[in-house]
Amino acid sequence: MKNKKNYKYSILILDFGSQYTHLLVRCIRKLGVYCELWSYDVSQEKISQFHPNGIILSGGPESTTELNSSRVPKYIFELNIPVLGICYGMHTMVMQLGGTVKKANKREFGYTQVELKAPSILVHNIKDDINKNGNHILNVWMSHGDKVTSIPVNFITIASTETCLFAIIANEKKHFYGVQFHPEVTHTVQGLHILKRFVYDICNCKPLWIPSKIITEIIKDVREKIGNDKVILGLSGGIDSSVTAILLHYAIGKQLICIFVDNGLLRSHEAQHVKEMFGDYFGLNILYVSAEDYFFKALIGEQDPEIKRKIIGRVFIEVFEKEASKIINVKWLAQGTIYPDIIESAKSTTGGKAHIIKSHHNVGGLPKKINLKLIEPLKELFKDEVRKIGLELGLPYDMLYRHPFPGPGLAIRILGEVKKEYCNLLRHADSIFIEELHKANLYNKVSQAFTIFLPVRSVGVMGDSRTYDWIIALRAVETVDFMTANWVNLPYDFLCRVSNRIINEINGISRVVYDISSKPPATIEWE
């Protein structure tokens, strides 16, 4: 949980499980104001510790008209701070303060126009259009089955649609607002503007959640916590562990020891890049562990993707522990945990109302195994915030905006048993594909691209001889959240170039295929 002395302004979002709630958190953070997402039934004590400048009640899949549907604790409306209820959040606020909500005859879903009928600071001078009565119009996105049928005392109607009388309501004196539509989705054109009004003009927050300030606060916090202790960190070269490493380096310098485990399943030249950038350029203390033999030995004969993942996780912990035990006097283990990891694990452990957006694959067993205190400097940040901080800290753009690479590495891109020989072929093919994507200016247009090794031999012809060699598949997807994805329609001449290069330059590959499966039903990785 945030420390109020660090982040002067903050908004608390209480989650009723809407699929849009995570967008709401992103919007507020984008506005430069720190915010956290908690379950709707939070205790009063936790709220007073957090001391938010405003509270937003999210939408949700339930109906307030049903028995035992969720309600916020009553004290939320007695804290003397602004409250904005969105959809379900508005309904519960209305009912808890004495109004009524009924099931609508017709579910309203999609675009609609809201007509402003009375002035309110929430929407003052915000409009998409003006209608023939001279009233301001907002184009908004609705998704609701219930609607408010009477509003509590001291509330007024600010805006209506043709079918929804209470589209925006307000009790200006108490700073309570309700909106039937979803300002957090991009379809609501002025949505961010409305949230900005709430956060800046109603809750009086200031945009202090910006990279340079966040860095200063984290560094201060780390120094206070760590003092003169030693910290170890598993540096993988991925975004989160890299940004964690640099932050800690600026905070505590040589007290940080990074352990880089080369498992033999990395991309081409990865280990060398990590050594050069973090060791030579930034001057970090790096312990390089060449452990590929351990990993390959442990993977011998194993075909099953999930067991392969488990083996890699287990061997990593064994190798890391062994190396860590050689460093004397270490008190802390640093990890690159980010905010979505925290939200997801909170939801999976407390059975929160929202659907899990993305299950994370690398739930580390490390902290439990190693008897060290845990420090997670990025645990309040989203991935894009981590990237911005990384840039501010001087990490290269290309590294921070690379496609994601899975923890088990090439092992899940080699179907079935993993062998060193396959890894070498795959690594080479992958580097050709990625290099060509960059050259064709396509790398940043796809969300993730990689190659897969198919341990199947097929016949080919090279010169006058017959070949009987392995197959490489190319995969390139476009996605927003990696939960669903479309295969990318890469130009034929580009595919042709990549295929020619792979077959001609790599001895052992006789055929290249392109994967045209979307997710679902296929997954992005082949295993």
Interface residues with ligand XMP (CB under 6 A) are 309, 361-362, 404, 406-408, 448, 482, 519, 523-525
The question of whether 292 is a catalytic residue gets the answer no
**Separation of first and last alpha carbons in the chain:** 36
What are the residues facing 147 on neighbouring strands? 102
- Cite the DSSP H helix spans in 382-419: 383-392, 397-400
Give least dist CB 216 to ligand XMP, A: 30
Q: How far apart are CA 442 and CA 490, in angstroms?
A: 9
Q: Which is nearer to ligand XMP, 209 or 316 (CB)?
A: 316
Q: Which is nearer to ligand XMP, 398 or 481 (CB)?
A: 481
Q: Is the peptide bond before 73 cis (omega within 30 degrees of 0)?
A: no
Rounding to the nearest 10 degrees, give the CA dihedral for residues 199, 203, 204, 206: -40
Q: Which residues contact 431 (CB under 8 A, 6 or more apart)?
A: 267, 268, 269
Q: Which is nearer to ligand XMP, 167 or 477 (CB)?
A: 477
**Given 36, 62, 184, 217, the catalytic residue:** 184
Give least dist CB 450 to ligand XMP, A: 8
**Given 22, 144, 175, 182, the catalytic residue:** 182
Q: Which is nearer to ligand XMP, 93 or 386 (CB)?
A: 386
Sheet holding 156-160, edge to edge: 34-39, 10-15, 54-57, 83-86, 176-179, 168-171, 156-160, 100-116, 136-150, 129-130
Q: How far apart are CA 113 and CA 28, in angstroms?
A: 24
Give least dist CB 67 to ligand XMP, A: 38
How would you write 210-247 as a 3-class SS string? CHHHHHHHHHHHHHHHHCCCEEEEECCCCHHHHHHHHH
Q: How far apart are CA 257 and CA 189, in angstroms?
A: 48
**Given 35, 87, 164, 205, the catalytic residue:** 87
Phi, psi of 89 (to 5 degrees): -60, -35
Give least dist CB 281 to ligand XMP, A: 26
The question of whether 22 is a catalytic residue gets the answer no
- CA-based max dimension of the chain: 89
Q: Which is nearer to ligand XMP, 3 or 444 (CB)?
A: 444
Q: How far apart are CA 290 and CA 259, in angstroms?
A: 11
Q: Which is nearer to ligand XMP, 183 or 407 (CB)?
A: 407
The question of whether 87 is a catalytic residue gets the answer yes
Give least dist CB 236 to ligand XMP, A: 10
Give least dist CB 524 to ligand XMP, A: 3
Active site residues: 87, 182, 184
